[in-house]
A and B are shown apart, each in its own frame.
Chain A
Amino acid sequence: MSVIDLLTRVDTICNKYDKYDVERHRESNLSGDDAFARLYATVDADIEALNQKAETASKEKGKASAVAINAEIRRTKARLLEEVPKLQKLAVKKVKGLSSQEFAARNDLVPALPERIQAIPDGTPAAPKQTGGWASSGSRPDIKFDSDGRFDDEYFQQTEESSRFRNEYEMRRIKQDQGLDVIVEGLDTLKDMAHDMNEELDRQVPLMDEIDTKVGQAASDLKNTNVRLKDTVIQLRSSRNFCIDIVLLIIILGIAAYLYNVLKK
């Protein structure tokens, strides 16, 4: 039996008799209990981390990195807010080994979480707080001017920086648009040329076919002619015919010479 077979068999046996493992169940219950505490601990740790990040964001000089960090914080906050209902459900579950006070305390802890999460600054001016602030300061006119003035100053500074940022963004966008326009022109020309080439090739195809057939015909004619020529030449220059011709010629010359001699006499 191979090792793998052994392992599978052991696994199946364990799974079969798992329900009799009392100790493990108790442990899981405890960890279930710890599940709430664990989740709560993680959420807590996350909130602390976010607070840290928010502090670094406020200290950040570069606008872009500050914006990026704020976006990150906002994302994590949304995630944590989703975890809260889970915690709520876990808190309601009655678990063994938990005193009733602790249970009540848990139920109080959970609602406090969303407020803590929202309280993490993420760069967005919290509007409801401000209106609340103004509403409250409306009843105290002397404080109102200061806070208004301070907000105005801060806002002005922001718009100066942001207006520079916006200008830079506009400039870059215009340059990109110009570059893209050039590319568009080039691509249009390319497309037109490609279409024309396509049509030209379509035009050439039947002509090439004609050339093909004509050349094929000419080639076969040539082959025929070559074969016939070869036959004729062989016939003409075959050595037997040649020798016969020479011999006959000599005989004729001999006869002519003999006749000449006879006539001369």
Chain B
Amino acid sequence: MAASDPNKLIAKADKLTRLSLTRWNADWRNATVLYEQAANGFRLAKDYEKAKIAFEKASKGQEMLSSPWDAAKHMESAAALAKELSNWREAADFYRKASELYMECDRPQPASDALGKGARALEDAMPEEAVQLYADACTILEEDGKEQMTFDLYRAASSVYIKLEKYTDAASVMLNLGLAADKCNATNSQCKAYLGAIIIYLYAHDFKQAQKCYNDCSQIDAFLSSDQSRCASKFLAAYTDGDVEEIKRIAQSSAVSHLDHVIIKLARKLPTGDVSGFKTATAEDDEQLDEDDLT
């Protein structure tokens, strides 16, 4: 059976599914079997285009046979082949379809896995689409209550945003990570996420935002008493002092080295721009405070 030409199998299967005068009901059962065989044959022959089409048809067949699980599996294979062919749009569509089929089976984990695979495949080619896929994957998992699995997805999404130089988006993704970690009581990941967000804001040279972020995060006890918050406060203090050497020294410290490598690269490049501007702004505040104290 496997020896026969995949083309012939596809032709035969197509004949079975095409409705005509002699055939009133499409014979999906046999057709699906033939489509699967044809697809495997094409894959072995490294004919990715035809294999992809065969997988697509096999998936449709499985759907008709009301087995969404197999349909989803075939769709995923088709999407992987589309990725090989650098057919990004199609790959994205296939991965989404596969994820929907998995959700039909009531299995959110594989659904989000499918979206994650799609996002990883599209990271270089279509980064916006990739982050969209990551976001959808995280939503699925959070709805299912499995925030533990979202950490990796959030980290990957944030690194894609950083590559796109969309720093505010990246920082907000890190804050989402922190929120998810909070729900799972994963304090280490949470504190690292918050420190990462603060560093991203500093890299974007948005000192006010960084400070606001630090103040917000200090409301959380777990972060307040952690090494990461100490490191963050040292960063902010060094910025207010305008001490470039100090900033570089803190960036070499161990708390920063435990973060994601993308964020470590950002931290090593700090400070971006002129830090003396911050010094004067805060100095004025201090003077005002002193006057109040004297009176």
Contact = CB atoms under 8 A, between A and B. Distances in A.
Contact of A188 (B184, B187, B255): B255
B188 A196 contact: yes
B189 interface: yes
Interface in B120-174: 146, 148-149
A185 B257 CA distance: 10
A193 to B, nearest CB: 9
A39 to B, nearest CB: 58
B188 A192 contact: yes
A164 interface: no
A10 to B, nearest CB: 68
A189 B148 contact: no
Given A192-B188, A195-B188, A196-B188, A203 B254 contact: no
A192 B186 contact: no
B258 A203 contact: no
A202 interface: yes
Interface in A161-197: 184-185, 188-189, 192, 195-196
B189 A199 contact: yes
Contact of A202 (B184, B255, B257): B184
Given A202-B148, A203-B148, A203-B149, A185 B254 contact: yes
A225 to B, nearest CB: 22
Contacts of A196: 188-189
A206 B144 CA distance: 13
Nearest to B189: A199
Interface in B179-197: 184-189
A206 B227 CA distance: 29
A195 B189 CA distance: 9
B7 to A, nearest CB: 39
B254 A199 contact: no
Interface in A204-239: 206
A192 B149 contact: no
Nearest to B253: A188
Contacts of A184: 254
Contacts of B258: 188-189, 192
Nearest to A187: B254
B253 to A, nearest CB: 9
Interface string B186-226: 11110000000000000000000000000000000000000
A210 to B, nearest CB: 9
Contacts of A206: 146, 148
Nearest to B254: A188
Contact of A189 (B184, B186, B189, B254): B254
B6 to A, nearest CB: 34
Contacts of B227: 188
A202 B254 contact: no
A189 B188 CA distance: 13
B232 to A, nearest CB: 16
Contacts of A203: 148-149, 184
A188 B227 CA distance: 10
A204 B285 CA distance: 50
A185 B253 CA distance: 9
Contacts of A199: 148, 184, 186, 188-189
Interface string B217-246: 000000000010000000000000000000
Q: Give the one of A184, A198, A199, A206 with max B CB within 10 A.
A: A199
Nearest to A193: B258
B153 to A, nearest CB: 13
Contacts of A202: 148, 184-186
B127 to A, nearest CB: 27
A199 B227 CA distance: 17
A184 B148 CA distance: 30
Nearest to A185: B254
A132 B146 CA distance: 84
Contacts of A189: 254, 257-258
B187 to A, nearest CB: 8
Contacts of A195: 187-188
A184 B227 CA distance: 13
Interface in A54-87: none
Contacts of A185: 254
A2 to B, nearest CB: 66
Contacts of B184: 199, 202-203
Contacts of B149: 203
Interface string B251-264: 00011011000000
Given A189-B258, A199-B189, 5 more contacts: A195-B188, A196-B189, A199-B186, A202-B148, A202-B186
15 contacts: A184-B254, A188-B254, A188-B255, A192-B188, A192-B254, A192-B258, A195-B187, A195-B188, A196-B188, A196-B189, A199-B148, A199-B186, A199-B188, A203-B148, A203-B149
Interface of B: 146, 148-149, 184-189, 227, 254-255, 257-258
The 8 closest A-B pairs by CB, nearest first: A195-B188, A188-B254, A203-B148, A192-B258, A199-B186, A185-B254, A199-B189, A199-B188
